[in-house]
């Protein structure tokens, strides 16, 4: 059974940093693209970033480019999202997701971790 | 960026009703569209990919169609478990974008 467990969320001040982790199990992480998708409270879904199997390709939504960095450690079965220069508008539940095939669309999702950016 | 617009934003329906949700894209593309169902406090669940392919394990009352700029999700006979919010998502080009969601409520 595919399991994705996010951690690392919490309350952070504007301008601060946070690192989210996604622990993957039940499948071979090195065979899949992985994504982060977020959802602000009471709002819709927003794709944030994804990363190729070997980490050689990364894609980001414009609003986080230069501030967020997606990475992975296949040996540790983990995917990460380093979030710097956080803003109030980054407040959201962040989901880790396993993409289908060559990074086409998220198939399996974790339960999410809440990030709150507030002073 | 490709903008995805869903209609309606909210839909009131009864058990047994046939329900159709529309997703319109700001640019034309082939079939690189997915549909998700989300219930309160839960992660989204993939229903449809490649516009009309049913994800494994999803009931056959769900179907998808369309290409170009207009796509639809149809629930042939609404069941109690189907009251939720539905999102379309294009994966034709980065950044991937979602529609704003359609909430299906009990009438």
Query: Which chain A residues touch B96 with a CB distance below 8 Å?
Result: 47, 50, 105
Size of interface A-B (CB pairs under 8 A): 49
Does residue B10 carry a pLDDT above 90?
Answer: yes
Of the candidates A60, A62, A105, the beta carbon closest to that of B34 is on A105
DSSP B6-27: EE-SEEEE-TT--EEEEEEEEE
Q: How far apart are CA A33 and CA A84, in angstroms?
A: 23
Interchain CB distance below 8 Å, A46 and B94: no
Distance CA A80, CA A72 (A): 6
Q: Name the DSSP class of A43.
A: S
Ranges assigned E (strand) in chain B? 4-7, 10-13, 19-29, 33-38, 45-49, 53-54, 62-75, 85-90, 97-98, 102-106
Contact of A92 with chain B, judged by CB distance below 8 Å, is answered with no
Nearest to A97 by CA among A84, A82, A107, A87: A107
Q: Take residue B31 and report the two structure tokens written for it.
A: 């079939």
Averaged over A56-66, what is the pLDDT? 98
Put simply, the answer to whether A62 touches B1 (Cβ < 8 Å) is yes
A58 vs A52: CA distance, rounded Å: 6
In the numeric block, the tokens 């992985």 are attached to A34
The pLDDT tens digits of the residues spanning B45-88 come to 999 999 999 999 999 999 999 999 999 999 999 999 999 999 99
User: Is A62 near chain B, with CB under 8 Å?
Assistant: yes
Residue A110 pLDDT = 98
Q: What is the 8-class DSSP label of residue B31?
A: S
What's the pLDDT score for residue A101?
Answer: 75
How much is the average pLDDT of A48-77?
A: 97
Phi-psi region of B86 (alpha: psi -120 to 50; beta: other; left: phi over 0): beta
Contacts of A100 in chain B (CB under 8 A): 49
Of the pLDDT bands very low, low, confident and very high (cuts 50, 70, 90), residue A104 is confident
Alpha-carbon dihedral angle through residues B57, B41, A102, A7, given to the nearest 10 degrees: -130
> Measured between CB atoms, does A100 come within 8 Å of chain B?
yes
Across the range B77-100, mean pLDDT stands at: 97
Segment A2-55, tens digit of pLDDT = 999 999 999 999 999 999 999 999 999 999 999 999 999 999 999 999 999 999
Check if the beta carbon of residue A110 is closer than 8 Å to that of residue B45.
Answer: no
What token pair was written down for A103? 């990074």
Find the CB nearest A46 among B46, B94, B98.
Answer: B98
């Amino acid at each position: 059974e595919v399991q994705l467990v996010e951690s690392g969320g919490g309350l952070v001040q504007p301008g601060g940093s946070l690192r989210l982790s996604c622990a993957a199990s039940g499948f071979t992480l090195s065979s899949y693209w992985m994504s982060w998708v977020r959802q602000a409270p009471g709002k819709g879904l927003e794709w944030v970033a994804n990363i190729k199997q070997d980490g050689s390709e990364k894609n980001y939504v414009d609003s986080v480019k230069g501030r967020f960095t997606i990475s992975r450690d296949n040996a540790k079965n983990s995917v990460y999202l380093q979030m710097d220069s956080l803003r109030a508008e980054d407040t959201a539940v962040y989901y880790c997701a396993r993409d289908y095939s060559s990074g086409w669309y998220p198939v399996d999702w974790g339960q999410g971790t809440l990030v709150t950016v507030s002073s | 960026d490709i903008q995805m617009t869903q209609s309606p934003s909210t839909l009131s329906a009864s058990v047994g009703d046939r329900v159709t949700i529309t997703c319109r894209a700001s640019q034309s593309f082939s079939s690189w569209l997915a549909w998700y169902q989300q219930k309160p406090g839960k992660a989204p669940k993939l229903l449809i990919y490649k516009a009309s392919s049913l994800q494994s394990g999803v009931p056959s009352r769900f179907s998808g169609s369309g290409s170009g700029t207009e796509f639809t999700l149809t629930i042939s006979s609404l069941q109690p478990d189907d009251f939720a919010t539905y999102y379309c998502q294009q994966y034709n080009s980065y950044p991937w974008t979602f529609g704003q969601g359609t909430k299906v409520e009990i009438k």
